[in-house]
Amino acid sequence: MPRLKKANMPGALPFYQQIANAIADDITTGRLMPEQRLPAQRRLAAGLGIDFTTVARAYVEAQRRGLVDSTVGRGTFVCGKRRPAIPRAVEGRPNIDLSMNMPPEPASPELAQLMQAGYAEVGARLRDLLRYQDFCGSRDDREAGALWLRRRGLVVPQERMLVTPGAQCALLAVLATIAPAGSVVCCEELTYPGLRALAGQLGLKLVGLPMDSEGIDAVAFAAACAQYAPKALYCNPTLLNPTTAVMSAQRRQALVEVARFHGVAIIEDDAYGFLPRSGPPPLASMGPDITFYIAGLAKCVGAGLRVGFLVAPDAHYTARLTAAIRATTTMVSPITGALATRWIRDGTADLMLAAIRKECAVRHKIALRALPGASLDATPDSFHLWLRLPAPWGRRQFAETMAAAGVAVVASDAFAVGAPGMAPEAVRVCVGGMADRYQIQHALELMGQALRHPPPCVAHGV
C-alpha cells in the first residue's frame, strides 16, 4: 500500500496523483511487473482509508500515463507495452468529454483529401464570398439544400427554402415568428436543451408532454391542445435527443392530425434524421402546410459546419422568416454556405455521412460490450446513448462521480421540462466528437465499473 501525505501537509499532491505516482515508482523499481494485476479499486480504497472515487481517479490517471490498462471483468493490469495516452485534463476539466453531442470525426485520409479539395475550390472564389449575400441564402445554396433534403423524401420549392447559420438559428427564427412572448409551446417531456434556452430568452412557456418508447403521446398532445391552446408543437421525432427514440409513421400521422384539428403549427427538428439508412418519413411530408421543418449539417457531416435548412409552410411565412433571420443573424456565412454547397454537389457530404454512420455502428458495439446488463437506450444509428441508472445511483451523483474520474456526461435535468426534481435518474452519453475508439471504450468501462460498484448510500437526484 502506498503511503499518502495528508492534503494539508506542505507540498502534498492530491491523493489520486500520489497513488498514480506510487504505481509509476513501483513499476520503475520492479515491485510491479508487466501484466501484474493491481488491487481491486474498492479493496485499495478500504486499505488506504479513502473513498472509492479517489482510487478510481488514480487508476484513470495511471492509465492516462500509459502505466496500466483496464478490462471489464478482468481488472487493472500493469501494461506490457505503452498504451495510447488519454488526453491530459486542462484546468481541472474532464479528460474525456462525452457531454457534447457531436458526430464522430471520420479518419479516412482519402475523405480528408476530398474535403480539402472542396475547401480549396471555395477559397478560389473568396473575393465574391466576402460580400453580403441573400438573407435566406444564395440561389445555389438553396438549390443544394433542396437537393440534400431529397434524401429525406422532401421535395421543396425554392419559395419555401431558407438557408440559415445552423439549425439553432432556424429554430430561433421560427419561434420568434409564430410564438409571441407568454405563449405556450408543447414539446417532449425530455427535450433538446437548446429549445429550453430559447424559450427562456423569448419568454415562452414550455409544456412537456408524456412520452413512450416512440416519443410524444398523441392523446396527451390532444389534451394539451384543449387545455393550453399552444402556438406550436416542437418535436425531435428521429433519434430524440436525449433518449434516441424514433417515432413511427403512424404516430407522426396522428400528431399531424391532432395539430391540424386544433390549428397548431408543428416545428420538426430533424437534426438526426439523416443518420438512419431508412426510417419513417418526416412530419413535413405528411403535413407540409402546418410544419416548419428544420435540418442541418452539424449532426450528419460536421459539428462546425454551421449550415441549417429551414422549410416554411408557404411563401408568406418564407418572407416573415427571412425578416427574422435578417434581424437576428443576418445570413449564413457565404463562405460556409459555399463549402456546404460544394460538398453536397460533389458527393463529399454523402461520403462523410456514410463514414459517420459506419463509426456510429462500431461505437454502439463498444458501448454494449463495455456496459453489459446496463439499462441503455441506444441504436447503431446514433452517437448518443441514454443510460438509465439503477438504484441507489442518483443522476447528479453519477455525473459528479464520472467527472471526478475524468469523464463528462450530462444529467437528465438538462433535458427535463416540468417541475424541478422530476427528471428521471439517467444521463446522456455522447460517443462521438474528438474522442477515438480507445478513449470511448475507456470512458464507458469506467461507467460500467461505477454501475457495478455504487456508493453505499446515494440519494436520488442529489
- State pLDDT tens for residues 290-329: 999 999 999 999 999 999 999 999 999 999 999 999 999 9
pLDDT at 458 over 80: no
Q: Is the dihedral of CA 187, 386, 411, 201 positive or negative?
A: negative
The single residue listed with the C-alpha cell 459517420 is 356
How, if at all, do strands 407-408 and 308-311 pair?
unpaired
d(CA 54, CA 15): 7
Output the pLDDT for position 12. 67
| pLDDT tens track for 128-180 | 899 888 889 999 999 999 999 999 999 999 889 999 999 999 999 999 999 99
pLDDT at 200 over 80: yes
d(CA 160, CA 316): 9
In eight-state DSSP terms, residue 458 is -
Q: Which residues of 54-73 are buried (b: 16+ CB within 10 A; e: fewer)?
A: bbbbbbbbbbbbebbbbebe
The residue that leads in pLDDT, 462 or 330, is 330
> pTM for this one?
0.81
Most confident of 97-111, 223-237, 400-414: 223-237
Q: Which of 208-217, 332-341, 450-459 has the lowest mean pLDDT?
A: 450-459
- Read off the pLDDT band of 27 (50, 70, 90): confident
- CB neighbour list of residue 4: distance below 8 Å, 6 or more residues apart: 15, 18, 19, 48, 50
Average pLDDT, the chain: 90
pLDDT at 402 over 60: yes
| pLDDT tens track for 225-238 | 999 999 999 999 99
Domains and CATH numbers, the chain: 15-78 (1.10.10.10), 96-107+350-452 (3.90.1150.10), 109-346 (3.40.640.10)
Mean pLDDT of 195-216: 96
- Read off the pLDDT band of 8 (50, 70, 90): low
Output the pLDDT for position 72. 58
Output the pLDDT for position 81. 55
Output the pLDDT for position 45. 86
- CB neighbour list of residue 163: distance below 8 Å, 6 or more residues apart: 136, 137, 138, 141, 142, 145, 307, 308, 309, 310, 332, 337
d(CA 146, CA 47): 64
pLDDT at 83 over 90: no
pLDDT at 89 over 60: no
Q: How many CA atoms within 13 Å lie on the side-chain side of 325?
A: 29
Q: Which residue blocks in 77-179 are alpha helix, DSSP H?
A: 109-123, 126-129, 139-149, 167-178
- Read off the pLDDT band of 90 (50, 70, 90): very low
Respond yes or no on whether the N-terminal peptide bond of residue 84 is cis (omega within 30° of 0): no
Most confident of 38-52, 129-143, 179-193: 179-193
d(CA 302, CA 26): 44
- Read off the pLDDT band of 7 (50, 70, 90): low
Output the pLDDT for position 91. 42
Residue 213 exposed, middle or buried by CB count within 10 Å (0-12, 13-18, 19+): exposed
Percent of the chain with pLDDT over 90: 66
Spatial strand order in the sheet of 161-164 = 161-164, 308-311, 291-296, 265-269, 232-235, 184-188, 205-209
pLDDT at 392 over 80: yes
The single residue listed with the C-alpha cell 461520403 is 351
Output the pLDDT for position 461. 46
- Read off the pLDDT band of 86 (50, 70, 90): very low
Question: 215 near 237, Cβ under 8 Å?
Answer: yes
pLDDT at 460 over 70: no
Left (φ > 0), alpha (ψ -120 to 50) or beta: where does 75 sit? left
